[in-house]
Amino acid sequence: MQSHLTRRPRTVRVAAGLAGLAGAVALVASGCSGDGDASAKPDATSSGGAAKVDVTLTAASGSDACELSADSVPAGPVTFTVTNKDSAAITEFEILSGDRIVGEKENLAPGLAPVTFTVTLGGGTYQAYCPGAQTDTVDLTVTGEAATPTGGVQDVLAQGTTTYGAYVDSQVADMVTAIKALQAAVDAGDVAAAQKAYAAARPFYEKVESDVAGFVLPGSDPTDNTGNLDYLVDMRASNLDPAVGWHGFHAVERDLFEKKAISADTEKLAAELTANVTKLSDLASGLTYKPEDLANGAAGLLEEVQANKIKGEEEKYSHLDLVDFAANVEGAEQAFANLEPGLETIDPDLTKQVTTQFDAVKQTLTAYEDPSALGGYKAWTPELRRADAAKLSQAVQALQEPLSRIAEKVATAQ
């Protein structure tokens, strides 16, 4: 997606890792190396219209490193395949232009299957950033200029991105309305009404999280979380930045569902959440997208499901994880649906496979629907999680694999 605004992920960054990035140009690609310029690497090869770069996260020789298979790539679509071989310190990989993120993968635990994403890069110098690596930032050169695909299937895909942009805008606007209702219930001191309003507000963020997560307030230092709106809106208890403290949805969730009480501090948190979501709505309005942005975003939402929702980490106090799960799936399906008319022409078999797996995941979720429960789904309690987490994870995994192949398909389509 394209925006003039700085964006960054929810993880806490090490300030030194971003020093000196201001001179980068164009968009961003990915890759890191712990070996600096010790030896020149060959240019990435191109296959099927996209350059290929392998990224390996490793703890070899006692130091964590992010190894890139190429120092340079030709302008155009680039597919990065990231494998965490054995590094516990590195769980994230980003492509940076200055401090703007163009492509990223998070939750890269050691031993998991490789993950891919595709971005289209213009000529220039980019940074591959691996927080936690001994050398966490390395330049990646993009040579030449990317051709702009036009006509035929690209026109169909472009129409889908426009429609999807309107969908994102509507979800964010509705989130502002829902958060105001939450604040009103908190200000009224009505715990039951506030719990209901909290459950109603959560899906809006989860449907479009991959599109709006990471905006930094204008004038804020991009190397900390003080102005990081995703942190201020959606940070979990498990990943707090002590220097900034706890804010947002889940701080309110704690008071409403664990403490079951509304205090002056709860009122302050709810008012702050309303203000920050309103700012996010203003900043995110009118984003434009490339087809691969939709595909990467859909894959990112499913990674959120696997990393946080199925584990019960997202909604620690309310156990509304299945509400978030369903919203992530819905948002991913919306992104796919807007690519589907073009993808049908590019690869009808893959299109059918993804459609079938979306249907399977949604069918699996129906077993947990409960109209009487907050958010319309059963509470994802530790007991239910122990019994059913593996089943849900397998259903999502079966969808993730074919969905991960779409970005390269749409980025290279002629």
- Using CA atoms, how far residue 226 sits from 246, 274, 298, 302, in Å, is 11, 17, 28, 28
Average pLDDT over residues 319-344: 95
What b/e string do you get for 45-71 counting C-beta neighbours within 10 Å, with b at 16 or more? ebeeebbbbbbbbbbeeeebbbbbbbb
Question: Which pLDDT score, from 0 to 100, does residue 107 have?
Answer: 73
Average pLDDT over residues 70-75: 93
> pLDDT tens digit string along 98-118?
656 677 787 788 988 898 888
- Statement: 15-143 belongs to CATH 3.40.50.970: no
Whether 25 has a pLDDT exceeding 90, the answer reads no
Q: What's the sign of the alpha-carbon dihedral 183, 186, 187, 190?
A: positive
- Using CA atoms, how far residue 394 sits from 307, 400, 414, in Å, is 13, 10, 34
On the question of a common fold for 15-143 and 153-412, the answer reads no
CB atoms within 10 A of CB 246: 16
Alpha carbon distance 56, 33 (integer Å): 9
Place 8 in a pLDDT band, splitting at 50, 70 and 90.
very low
| DSSP class of 64 | -
**Max CA distance (Å), the chain:** 64
End-to-end CA distance of the chain: 20
Mean pLDDT, the chain, integer: 86
Place 186 in a pLDDT band, splitting at 50, 70 and 90.
very high
> pLDDT tens digit string along 333-361?
999 999 999 999 999 999 999 999 999 99
CATH superfamily membership of 153-412: M75 peptidase, HXXE motif (1.20.1420.20)
Average pLDDT over residues 309-321: 95
Question: Which pLDDT score, from 0 to 100, does residue 263 have?
Answer: 98
> Token digits for 227?
């102005």
Alpha carbon distance 106, 359 (integer Å): 26
Q: Which spans in 66-215 are helix H?
A: 153-187, 191-207, 209-212
Place 161 in a pLDDT band, splitting at 50, 70 and 90.
very high
The domain spans of the chain are 15-143, 153-412
pTM of the model: 0.74
Task: Report DSSP letters for 234-287, one per residue.
Answer: H--GGG--TTT---SHHHHHIIIIII----HHHHHHHHHHHHHHHHHHHHHTT-
Question: Which pLDDT score, from 0 to 100, does residue 299 have?
Answer: 94
Closest CA to 234 of 218, 251, 221, 219: 251
Q: What's the sign of the alpha-carbon dihedral 290, 294, 299, 301?
A: positive
> Token digits for 243?
């220097």
Q: What is the CA radius of gyration of the chain?
A: 21
Whether 1 has a pLDDT exceeding 60, the answer reads no
* Low-confidence winner among 1-15, 48-62, 167-181, 250-264 (lowest mean pLDDT): 1-15
Average pLDDT over residues 154-166: 91
